[in-house]
Amino acid sequence: MSSRYLHTMVRVHDLEASLKFYRDGLGLIETHRMDSEKGRFTLVYLSAPHDEADARANRAPELELTYNWPDADGNAETYSGGRNFGHLAYQVDDIYALCQHLSDMGVVINRPPRDGHMAFVRSPDNISIEFLQKGDALPPQEPWASAPNIGEW
């Protein structure tokens, strides 16, 4: 029996804030979207740039953002992180440049890339995101080498 990774689904509270983070911050590309009037939800599928062709052709590998619409009274469902969900991980070309870009956007770098290899941030919905440097670790450099951890990651 064989299997193929399709997507990871993350429920989000604010679709626009999440798209700003994943699309504008991380550089993910929206491959398709579905609005369900009857189900009262929106699904947005995103891929990493290197996976875009596969995602468009095969609908995999992708990140699915699920936004459940508020009820008729404007009440939205509250989500909390489950302990069974660890983190999303992305390989990046330049971990320092990405962390600086996100920091400039106001994103807290919870686990800075002190080692030139790994960093963690949190999405607007408190999902832990891991970044791993493509290839060998970059040489340590400031301000990251001496930056402390902030909060949980």
* Between 105 and 82, residue with greater pLDDT: 105
Instruction: Please give the positions annotated as active site.
Output: 130
Looking at every residue in the chain, the average pLDDT score rounds to: 91
Q: Residue 64 in 3-state DSSP?
A: strand
**Residue 80 pLDDT greater than 80, yes or no:** no
Instruction: Give the global pTM.
Output: 0.80
What's the full length of the chain, in residues?
A: 153
Q: Both 58 and 110 in a single domain?
A: no
How many domains is the chain built from? 2
Dump pLDDT digits (tens) for 5-28: 889 989 898 999 999 999 999 999
Residue 73 covered by a domain: no
Q: Residue 1 in 3-state DSSP?
A: coil
Dump pLDDT digits (tens) for 130-141: 999 999 999 999
Structural domain boundaries enclosing 61: 7-68
